[in-house]
Structure 1
Amino acid sequence: MNILGFFQRLGRALQLPIAVLPVAALLLRFGQPDLLNVAFIAQAGGAIFDNSH
């Protein structure tokens, strides 16, 4: 594998966390009691944050 292929794979691997974190933040916020008060939405956002080490 050449260096360009390596950086393409690295870039693809880094896109997923960058794309998922804003969605997780929105889910976490929308599930809060002062907004929609839907617990499973907040739990889904929390699960994404908990598993993103």
Structure 2
Amino acid sequence: MFWNPEVITTTGKSLRITQITFNIIYIMRTNVNQGRIQSLAVMIVVLINNDQTPY
């Protein structure tokens, strides 16, 4: 399961933070199997963090 950037932007800020942290944990779990998706998802998380204030 992965997240949509639209869902993060339209929902509350607290939910957005928990979604990002959940995604990071999910990325770490799938790190062994799929290295590409890990690096790609990290880039997406970085873009989201740069685009929107975390708090």
Larger Rg: 1
Larger RCO, structures 1/2 (Cα 8 Å, 6+ apart): 2
Query: TM-score range, shorter-chain basis?
Result: 0.3 to 0.5
